[in-house]
Structure 1
Amino acid sequence: MHSQKVQKIDLNNDYPCPCRRRGRLVPITLTEAFGCNRCQQIFVVQENGYVIEQLSTTYPYKRAWRWTGHQWNIAHSSLASGYFPLTLAIIFGLLFLLLLTTLNAPFSSSVTFRVIAALVLSMMLVLMLWLACRR
């Protein structure tokens, strides 16, 4: 079993590309960066040499990895993971209030129907948002 302890990235070594299995990261001379010989991506060394970050990306967030000595592990941003649940809670509250004020209850039911319907719809919409952002 391989160690999962994060190792410092040696700027003179080459590593497997975290994006593709067959590519190799080769050091770019006179920089603290690597280039993949297969996918042509550039990766910059960050956080005192323990993290590489993809420089040019089409993703809305920067992708980063840590080297364990045998493989790359995704480095999660603590800022993004801390604010995501708060953002979901705020969206849930706003959706709940919006749906509560706009839903019309049938004649035979009371305000309880509106509250339950707004709650269920809000939960479904937030769940769909969470599932979409998970990827």
Structure 2
Amino acid sequence: MPSQKAQKIDLNSEYPCPCRRRGRLMPIALTEALGCDRCQNIFVVTENGQAIEQLPTNSPYKRCWRWNGHHWSVANTRLRESYLPVAVTIVIVLVVFWLPYVLGLPFGPNAIPWVILAVLLATLPALMVWLAYRR
């Protein structure tokens, strides 16, 4: 079974591109960066030398990969970089507790359909944005 531990990235070696299957990452002269020959993306080696990070593009998310010796694996993203689940959770909590209070509905069987409707209406735009911008 291949090792899943991240290995140090050698700037003098070629690697497969993490974005495309056929692309190859090759070292860029006089830099600590790798460039893909197919997708023209540039990747910078992180400080510890065990991961590469895609240079900023139009996307607000930084994409980062670790090399395990055989293939790239997506590095764990931080909470601030994946704000969509946190935002959806906050909206749901606010809608579930705030909406019945504002509408004057008691927390009982009569409030359940209104709460479900409010949760669906609040999460539908977030779901549409997530589906539109995911890769």
TM-score range, shorter chain: 0.7 to 0.9
Quick check: 1:96–1:118 contact (8 Å CA) kept in 2? no
Q: How far apart are residue 3 of structure 1 and its match? A: 1.8
Q: How many residues align?
A: 130
Structure 1 stretches of 4+ with a deviation exceeding 4 A read: 81-86, 125-128
Q: For structure 2, list consecutive stretches of 5 or more residues without a partner in the other structure.
A: none
Cα RMSD for the two superposed structures: 3.0
TM-score w.r.t. the length of structure 2 is 0.76
Letter in 1 for 2:114: A
Q: For structure 1, list consecutive stretches of 5 or more residues without a partner in the other structure.
A: none
Q: Which has the larger radius of gyration?
A: 1
Which moves more between the two structures, 83-92 or 57-66?
Answer: 83-92
Letter in 1 for 2:36: C
TM-score w.r.t. the length of structure 1 is 0.76
More helix by share: 1
Q: Does 1:8 align with 2:4?
A: no
Aligned partner (choices 109, 116, 121) of residue 120 of structure 1: 116
The 1:114/1:55 distance shift into structure 2, 3 A limit, reads farther
Question: Secondary structure of the residue that 1:112 maps to in structure 2?
Answer: coil
Q: Does 1:66 align with 2:62?
A: no
Cα separation, 1, equivalents of 2:30 and 2:114: 59
State the percentage of identical aligned residues.
50
Which moves more between the two structures, 36-45 or 75-84?
Answer: 75-84
